[in-house]
């Protein structure tokens, strides 16, 4: 947790979960509780959810509105403004050595991209968020991710270490036995990962690649059909890119399609467990359509996400075998190796920076 989660940008919420000044949301990253709010100018503010008096948590609910635009501690009622400055200390007897300016809330770095709020628990982020995001902002510039709204959210506790969940996202070698529904709409995955499958060990072509997607498919749903128009900003080539997976380690996964996004935010709850928040994001005009068919869009990834979580739990259990010291990656699992290398580097040096996979 120290080397990776306390030294990386962590996606924690959608921006519209804190719509206005004085609204708040509390997020838990391991044993760290972070309070997100917006100040009177509407700017994002994040603080450790901890009072500077004697350390009580400040907000006891996960989400809500701060009464009177103040963050008030439930223990002795010290209160702070939306910029974290200590404002009132009711019933305190005056002493010469106490300066309220020394007792503001502990700030946490906060920034946004694509409609997600990110926080960084380190004293100084190793790199700005925009840099950590690498290729992602340019690749998704026309998708309007910041305008999307969650039409459906699932929160699932998975009994697996977060790194197994990341590795699972990094490869599709498991797709044929695990994801029959996904393989139906992306037949290229049937062969075990859609990478290097038509070449021998020397890289010579040994077979003609089949179609990547189900013929006629417009998006990734159970039958490949769409019920809403593609995102307004996409060009023709981008409309034909039915699936772009993206992982910003350690905790943001995106399955991006031309008309919706399936996003995952991951929060470790222990060495062998993680809470995953899955959202299905749409343009507001899609959700506003009375004929909008949510189930049509939710079914594929709800099934697929569930299959992945189940397999990570089975792997977590299997890893307990006393003789098991290490596994082995197959060529299709090259991104697992990249992720594992990133973990190893980060464990050696906390300020290595992030880069998306
Ligand atoms: S611990 Fe917060 S006011 Fe005392
Ligand atoms: Fe999977």
CATH at 270 = 3.90.380.10
Round the average pLDDT of the chain to a whole number and report it: 94
* Same domain assignment for residues 150 and 254: yes
Average pLDDT of the segment spanning 58-70: 97
> Of all protein residues, whose CA lies closest to atom 1 belonging to ligand 1?
54
Average pLDDT of the segment spanning 164-172: 96
Highest mean pLDDT among 122-131, 206-215, 346-355: 122-131
Statement: residue 205 has pLDDT above 80 = no
Does residue 217 lie in a domain region? yes
* Same domain assignment for residues 88 and 213: no
> Into how many domains does the chain fold?
2
Final residue belonging to a domain, choices 75, 98, 129 = 129
Query: Closest Cα to residue 46, out of 27, 62, 63?
Result: 27
Final residue belonging to a domain, choices 129, 152, 182 = 129
* Residues in contact with 75: Cβ distance below 8 Å, sequence separation at least 6, in sequence order: 51, 53, 54, 56
Domain that holds residue 320: 134-348
Q: What is the pLDDT of residue 19?
A: 97
pLDDT bracket for residue 200 (50, 70, 90): low
Report the relative pairing of strands 63-65 and 261-270 from DSSP bridges.
unpaired
Ligand 1 shell residues, CB under 6 Å:
51, 53-56, 73, 75-76, 78
Final residue belonging to a domain, choices 129, 161, 183 = 129
Does residue 181 lie in a domain region? yes
Computed from CA positions of residues 282, 285, 288, 292, in that sequence, does the dihedral angle turn out positive or negative? negative
pLDDT bracket for residue 201 (50, 70, 90): low
Statement: residue 197 has pLDDT above 70 = no
Q: What is the CATH number of the domain that holds 107?
A: 2.102.10.10
pLDDT bracket for residue 77 (50, 70, 90): very high
Does residue 357 lie in a domain region? no
Comparing 225 with 205, the larger pLDDT belongs to 225
* Same domain assignment for residues 181 and 265: yes
Ligand nearest to the CA of 305: 2
* Same domain assignment for residues 121 and 16: yes
pLDDT bracket for residue 322 (50, 70, 90): very high
* Same domain assignment for residues 141 and 114: no
Query: Closest Cα to residue 10, out of 24, 23, 28?
Result: 28
CA of 57 to the centre of ligand 1 (A): 8
Report the relative pairing of strands 79-80 and 86-88 from DSSP bridges.
antiparallel
pLDDT tens-digit series, residues 85-105: 999 999 999 999 999 999 999
pLDDT tens-digit series, residues 222-267: 999 999 999 999 999 999 999 999 999 999 999 999 999 999 999 9
* Same domain assignment for residues 113 and 234: no
* Same domain assignment for residues 119 and 147: no
Does residue 4 lie in a domain region? no
**Most distant CA atoms of the chain, gap in Å:** 83
pTM, 2 dp: 0.95
* Same domain assignment for residues 64 and 161: no
Does residue 141 lie in a domain region? yes
* Same domain assignment for residues 257 and 342: yes
- Look up tokens 């890289």; give the residue: 203
Query: Closest Cα to residue 261, out of 180, 163, 146?
Result: 146
Whole-Å CA distances, 268 to 4, 6, 118, 166, 276: 12, 12, 16, 12, 9
Q: What is the pLDDT of residue 354?
A: 85
Ligand nearest to the CA of 77: 1
> Of all protein residues, whose CA lies closest to atom 3 belonging to ligand 1?
76
Residue 153 CA to residue 261 CA, distance in Å, equals: 12
pLDDT bracket for residue 196 (50, 70, 90): very low
Average pLDDT of the segment spanning 293-319: 98
Q: What is the pLDDT of residue 180?
A: 96
Statement: residue 210 has pLDDT above 80 = no
Does residue 1 lie in a domain region? no
């Amino acid at each position: 947790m120290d080397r990776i989660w306390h030294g990386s940008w962590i996606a924690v919420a959608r921006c519209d979960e804190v719509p206005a000044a004085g609204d708040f949301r509390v997020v838990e990253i391991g044993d760290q509780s972070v309070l997100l709010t917006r100040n009177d100018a509407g700017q994002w503010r994040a603080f450790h959810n901890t009072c500077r008096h004697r350390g009580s948590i400040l907000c006891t609910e996960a989400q809500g509105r701060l009464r009177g635009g103040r963050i008030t501690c439930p223990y002795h009622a010290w209160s702070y403004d939306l910029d974290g400055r200590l404002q009132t200390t009711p019933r305190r007897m005056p002493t010469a050595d106490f300066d309220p300016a020394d007792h503001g809330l502990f700030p946490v770095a906060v920034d946004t991209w694509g409609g997600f709020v990110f926080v960084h628990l380190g004293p100084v982020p190793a790199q700005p968020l925009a840099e950590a995001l690498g290729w992602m902002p340019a690749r998704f510039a026309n998708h309007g991710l910041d305008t999307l709204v969650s039409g459906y959210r699932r929160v699932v506790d998975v009994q697996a270490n977060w790194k197994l969940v990341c590795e699972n996202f990094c490869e599709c070698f498991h797709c044929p036995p695990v994801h029959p529904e996904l393989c139906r709409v992306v037949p290229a995955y049937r062969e075990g990962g859609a990478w290097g499958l038509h070449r021998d060990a020397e890289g010579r072509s040994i077979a003609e690649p089949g179609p990547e997607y189900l013929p006629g498919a417009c998006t990734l749903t159970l039958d490949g059909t769409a019920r809403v128009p593609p995102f307004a900003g996409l060009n023709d080539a981008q409309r034909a890119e039915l699936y772009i997976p993206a992982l910003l380690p350690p905790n943001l996964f995106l399955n991006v399609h031309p008309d919706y996004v399936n996003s995952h935010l991951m929060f470790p709850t222990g060495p062998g467990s993680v809470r995953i928040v899955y959202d299905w994001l749409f343009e507001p005009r899609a959700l506003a359509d009375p004929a909008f068919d949510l189930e049509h869009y939710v079914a594929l990834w709800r099934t697929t996400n569930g299959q992945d979580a189940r397999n990570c739990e089975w792997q977590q259990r299997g890893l307990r075998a006393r003789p098991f010291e290490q596994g082995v990656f197959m060529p299709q699992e090259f991104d697992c190796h990249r992720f594992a290398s990133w973990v190893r580097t980060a464990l050696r040096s906390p300020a290595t920076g992030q880069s998306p996979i």
